[in-house]
Amino acid sequence: MYYLDLTLNGLIFGSMYALMAVGLTLVYGLLRILHIAHAAVYAFGAFITVIVANATGSIALGIVLAMIASALLGGAIYRLLYQPLLVYPPYVAMIASMGLLVFMEDAFRIVFGEQGLTFRRNPYPTQIFDIFGLTINAVQIAMLVVSTVCLVALGLFTTKTRMGVAWRATVSNPTIATSFGVDAIQVRYMNFFIGSALAGLAGALIALLNNFVEPSMGFVVSYKALAIIVLGGLGSIRGTLMASFALGLIESFGTIAVGAWLDRDALAFLFLIVVLMIRPQGFAGAKTA
Amino acid sequence: MSLYAYSLLSIVGINIMLAVSLNLITGFCGQVSLGHGAFFGAGAYAAALCAVAGMPVPVALLAGLLVAGLLGLIVGFASVRLREDFLAVTTIGVGFLLVGFVRKQSWLGAEMGISKIPASGLGPDGNAVMILLFALATIAFSLYLKRSWMGFAFRAVADDEQAARTLAIPASTYKLVAFAIGTAIAGLAGGLYTYFTQFIVPDSFGFILSVTLMAMVVIGGTGSTWGVVVGTVILTLLPEAFRFINEYRLLIFGGLLVLVMRFAPGGLAGIVTSATRRLRRA
């Protein structure tokens, strides 16, 4: 049962990594930018959830508003920062993105305080269920369900709808997609809206799970998400999902195995470096774009 | 001069060594490294272990240089196969990995770090002079390197790796050399830092330091040695000159990175170049 618990735990964390990383991988696919500030959007979502939930008493309203606010923030980041930088080499936008992450995290610290915020009323993490001997709390169940629903919906959207197909076409080849009448600008906005809303949702769920948000919560997550999209082969959604769950599981088991001599967070990067040594193009990255 | 002035000079000197050496990797050779702080840390720890073991100062400094350079060679060797985006993420990873590893090692003092490191015996003024001499040597080396044949090869690789290869420039070798030289200088700076503070903790060498160094390079102007030196001096002294800034240091560094990249991707050096060009035309 112990190992099943670890597996479950790994899958739950993996599903959160997946929600974070899908947005990143799509931004990379569209713009070839490592959108490091994505993690600040995630922390922003978490803060909005707590603030709205505490002000109105409704956690659901908090999550919905957090997703909307995160989507708008993501769109604004694209419009104000990335769009004018697309003419320069990609590292220019990447360093700007890193600056934005540092800036926003410090702004959170100044605005919301060093100590972070807690929910006034959040009964869910302590609602524990016992399913065939596996202990799991309400938020963890929500995480699994929500991420599965979101990822399946995203998959259906990109394969079954006209807009989604246009999106995928633009990711794989912007020039040809545009010549077939796809509005690349619209696709980019949609991409930032959806990806950022998912990051905000992940932030909200993590906030619920920990019953706590703090200014630097995005830092470590951002690099893990970067590691994941690199592992996934940069731009491949399937590879990103595989890498997310692999990392969740590796962290879950690895902490037991090597926790005595290595940090849990450092483990992710050990995994990243080992995989890149064997497959420099990542899990699913066949193309060298 | 006061003790404070000496320590300020020492910090400026160390930061100049770090930013200029990062500029060799990122500015000259086009490899974005976001883990430079970790190589600085590796040098600092190597030097600290040597110093605690009672070895003389030059040996400890050399050990710092060699350990960091060797580590840089390994990381570089692994990463020449990677594209630039992969490299940036991998170097972030190396930084986290090294700091996370040291944090768990009892023989390296774990979270508490290494304290009671023997003094260099030069005193605060002697230390500051030694650090500044090394900083000047680093600047001179960087200026020389840029004009050397190898410097041209670096820039060819940075501009267009494929084109450089067709000119029979072994791009991978040069990327590796740039990485090894840059990290070795960072390791030397780490050794100097060890003698300067006589106390090191893993968290000093983490991601924030790496970002700060990148800010110094970028704000000064990637590729321009003097630009980087000016950027470093400004970003090091700014929080000292304005005490209230220290509280908002990260906010300001982050904001500066965004604004500089958004409106002047060439940094201070780029602004100066375009201004002189405009003046000449007028």
Please report which confidence band the pLDDT of residue A235 belongs to, taking 50, 70 and 90 as the band edges: low
Structure-token match 């060679």, residue found: B73
Closest alpha carbon to B79 in B154, B8, B151, B179 = B179
Q: What is the pLDDT of residues A159-194, one digit of tens each?
A: 888 888 888 888 777 788 888 888 888 888 888 999
> What is the tens place of the pLDDT at every residue in B248-267?
888 888 888 888 888 888 77
Task: Give pLDDT tens digits for B61-80.
Answer: 899 999 999 999 888 887 77
| B248 contacts on A by Cβ (under 8 Å) | 106, 110
Among B86, B104, B250, select the one facing A262 at the smallest CB separation.
B104
Contacts of residue A95 in chain B, CB cutoff 8 Å?
32, 214, 218, 257, 261
Q: How far apart are CA A265 and CA B172, in angstroms?
A: 30
Residue A76 confidence (pLDDT) above 90: yes
Q: What is the DSSP letter of B27?
A: I
pLDDT digits (tens, 9 = 90+) for A105-160: 889 988 888 888 888 777 777 777 777 777 788 888 888 888 889 888 888 888 88
Q: Which of A66, A14, A31 is nearest to A224 (CA)?
A: A14
- Please say whether the beta carbons of B217 and A66 come within 8 A: no
In chain B, the DSSP E strands lie at none
> Angle at which helices B3-23 and B207-220 pack, to 10 degrees?
80
Distance CA A30, CA A93 (A): 14
What's residue B240's pLDDT? 77
CA distance to partner chain B, nearest, from residue A43 (Å)? 16
Decide if A283 contacts A274 (C-beta within 8 A). no
The count of residues in chain B is 282
pLDDT at position B92 is: 84
Q: Which of residues 165-224 of B touch A (CB under 8 A)?
A: 207-208, 211, 214-215, 218
Give percent of chain B with pLDDT exceeding 70.
Answer: 99
